Structure 1
Amino acid sequence: MNPSATTSANSPVNPSAATSTSLSARELLAAGLVAQPDAVAEVREEVRDPRSGPGSRALRVTTLGGVSVEVLPDRGLDLGSLWFNSIPVSWRSALGPRGGAVDPADEGWIGRFGGGLLVTSGVDHIGPPEQGHGLHGTHHLTPASDVAVRRLDDGSVEVSGAVDSSVVFGRHVLVERKITVGVDRPRVEVRDTIRNTGPVPAAVPILYHSNLGAPLVLPGTRVEVPGSTRTPRTPEAERLGWQAFPEPTDEVIEGVWEHTGFAPGAVQAVVTAPEDAVRLTMSWDGAELPRCMQWVHPTRGGWVLGVEPASAPLFGPDRSGEHLGAPVLEPGQERASGVVYELS
């Protein structure tokens, strides 16, 4: 940026000296070139597809940085559609958005799985139905409470709320979630604090089921995950591979890989469309989420890539014992985790 175009809260830029494309949202506001925060980061409450029924409310955040993302208060503050510079990034299933209550003790939710960028699995269970839990737990079926929207100092938008994971006579766990959508950078951060507010220990597995589709995911789309160990769940996973997305097929087939052995600190997984048309970088803390599942489903009409950082195993010998390898919180304890999505 030209130094003559810089500003501070006490020294706004001369509007005649710069254009909007050279200024940050904060500078645009300070210079009086826009009259309100919504001009650079718009937040709108929407009712989604009328076929959805209950659970269809969404907060749409659209920013100067080129991001438009749905935050879903009635779906555990998960994320629905994500667009970047008019390019859709998240996967949407053939079902479209669906709503209404389902029985968490069976696989009923899969029949309403409309996709979206983030479908949080946990924090009572991840993986297939087991030990009285339904497929992938109840977080994504639970409405958030105390949902609030606020503007940060740089103009970014923060949506926060709490998602309960409790039973009447047993575990009491609360997930406090903050979603920050960058106004100048195409960046969406999900940050969770998981608290055991009850009187008994509680297992708290979490898996950030991130779903990506075309045109980010095309034949040959490259996937980079920096783990040292790759474990296929089935022979189909080995057949499909993980480093490049395969050609479409009419065969109903999927493969799941587990990536582990991350170096300490920040972990980055990168998904890049052919010819570098668009790139998504996902990052998380390897100490908080030491595993990453990768779901490859190249069937026509399905066609989805899942990149899923997790705190617990989805399969294999570590998925054992009373808590299936998940971290356990004692009463009063908490743990943090989250994931960042950045586009270029």
Structure 2
Amino acid sequence: MERADSINQDWKDKVSNHLQVGGIETSVIDNGAGRGTRIAWINTGTGLRFKVVIDRAMDIADAFYNQHSLAWLSHGGITYPQPFSDKGIDWLRTFGGGLVTTCGLTHVGGPESDEYGDRGLHGLISNSPAEIESIIQPDPRTGRLEMSITGIIKETKPFGPSLELRRTISATLGQPSIRIHDEVINRANTASPHMLLYHFNFGWPLADEGTEILWNGKWFPRHGEENAKIFKEGNDFKTCPAPLESHLGSGEEVALIDIEADIFGDSVCGLHNAKLGLAVALKFKKEQLPWLANWQHWGKGEYVTGLEPSTHPLSGQAKAREDGTLIFIEPGEGRSYDLELEILTEEREIEELLLKVKVV
């Protein structure tokens, strides 16, 4: 895999328009359930290209490396934002899958109700459009290889809570990686509860029979050992199986992982498909996102595994409030989150990833 500094010498005096190599191109979907939705295609010039859905919290839908799709897309795909899909499990009606869907900003987990209000599955933010603040294009002729798109997404109402997500998605020409930098700021005059989860969804051909699911840490089944069929000691739950009859309809399982971190505080998880010679490594800060969920749903025609870094173990706001783990952001204060997803194709890089997550 060539790196940006070596490729850059070839670009000089040969490229008129940076889009010949890579960059950011915005447009609007004009057909189907997503009609009117703003998107941005980002092309890194390495074979990695991905679609940012500006009107859906700047989440990432389609993502490809060369001819290989990385993300799982639901039957519905991209839909126009529906901010009042916030009751019960209505969130699923507009869940397009995609490489990453953001959950939060004040609740993550199943629907619940208490004296503090009613909260639907996984919160409100993914049905909220962004106000674009900037788009910075690369300029290979001057040596500027960085590109980014920054937007502001709000979860707000009078009397609070009023949280603002300032998201920057960036990439570098010649490097097959995606960087997400999020800042969550409380714009209200009272403290706000805060929960956040990044719902990364991987599908075929990256996720396929024999693909290794990579993570390391203490884990437990979300709904208890007595209800687990996949996440049991002795089972090979880190290898993607063939589609399962037991996962038709709503069949699924989730493991909650207290993910390990290296000496730099970085946690790493991912997938490795040896048949494709391709791995995806997802890196984030343990201090920022101490938990990881591994969602496995191997239904026929609905075949997906999710790796989901989060602030809480899918506990929901009520449980987090009860056990004292609920985060509160004071007025004017904020919290930052940094994630990087990198595509690996060189044998040495893949071996290093496997060693990091202690795959045997």
Shorter-chain TM-score tier = 0.7 to 0.9
From 222, 225, 245, the counterpart of 1:233: 222
CA contact (8 A) 2:188 2:332 kept: yes
The amino acid of 1:44's aligned partner reads E
From 114, 124, 127, the counterpart of 1:138: 124
Q: Partner of 2:137 in structure 1?
A: 151
CA shift, 1:125, in A, is 0.9
Q: Partner of 2:19 in structure 1?
A: 38
CA shift, 1:49, in A, is 6.4
The amino acid of 1:123's aligned partner reads L
Q: How far does the alpha carbon of each residue in 1:283-311 deviate from its partner, in whole angstroms, 9 at most, with x for none? A: 00000000000000111111101000001
Residue 257 in structure 1 maps to residue 243 in structure 2: no
CA shift, 1:74, in A, is 0.1
Q: Partner of 2:337 in structure 1?
A: 337
**Distance in 1 (alpha carbons) for counterparts of 2:97 and 2:7:** 31
From 79, 98, 114, the counterpart of 1:98: 79
Q: More displaced, 237-246 or 310-319? A: 310-319
Q: Partner of 1:5 in structure 2?
A: none
Map residues 77-96 of structure 1 onto 2, 5 A cutoff: 77-96=58-77
Three-state SS of the structure 2 residue aligned to 1:321 is helix
**Distance in 2 (alpha carbons) for counterparts of 1:76 and 1:243:** 30
**Structure 2: gaps (5+ residues):** 345-360
From 237, 245, 250, the counterpart of 2:240: 245
Q: Which has the higher contact order (CA 8 A, sep 6+)?
A: 2
Residue 27 in structure 1 maps to residue 17 in structure 2: no
Q: Partner of 2:161 in structure 1?
A: 171
Q: Partner of 2:355 in structure 1?
A: none
Three-state SS of the structure 1 residue aligned to 2:320 is coil
Q: Partner of 2:287 in structure 1?
A: 287
The amino acid of 2:52's aligned partner reads V
**Distance in 1 (alpha carbons) for counterparts of 2:316 and 2:131:** 35
**Distance in 2 (alpha carbons) for counterparts of 1:49 and 1:93:** 19
Distance 1:169 1:295, change over 3 A: same
CA contact (8 A) 2:199 2:306 kept: yes
Q: TM-score, normalised on structure 2?
A: 0.83
**Structure 1: gaps (5+ residues):** 2-19
Three-state SS of the structure 1 residue aligned to 2:231 is helix
**Distance in 2 (alpha carbons) for counterparts of 1:22 and 1:184:** 4
Q: Partner of 1:210 in structure 2?
A: 200
**Distance in 1 (alpha carbons) for counterparts of 2:53 and 2:323:** 29
Q: Partner of 1:73 in structure 2?
A: 54
CA shift, 1:129, in A, is 1.0
Three-state SS of the structure 1 residue aligned to 2:305 is strand
The amino acid of 2:231's aligned partner reads E
Distance 1:326 1:241, change over 3 A: farther
Q: Partner of 1:11 in structure 2?
A: none
Distance 1:319 1:83, change over 3 A: same
Distance 1:115 1:295, change over 3 A: same
Three-state SS of the structure 1 residue aligned to 2:229 is helix
Distance 1:123 1:22, change over 3 A: closer
Q: Partner of 1:113 in structure 2?
A: 95
Q: How far does the alpha carbon of each residue in 1:175-225 deviate from its partner, in whole angstroms, 9 at most, with x for none? A: 111000221111001110111121111111110000000000011210121
CA shift, 1:139, in A, is 1.0
**Distance in 2 (alpha carbons) for counterparts of 1:79 and 1:128:** 22
Distance 1:72 1:215, change over 3 A: same
The amino acid of 2:97's aligned partner reads G
**Distance in 1 (alpha carbons) for counterparts of 2:58 and 2:150:** 8
The amino acid of 2:77's aligned partner reads G
**Distance in 1 (alpha carbons) for counterparts of 2:192 and 2:317:** 21
CA shift, 1:172, in A, is 1.5
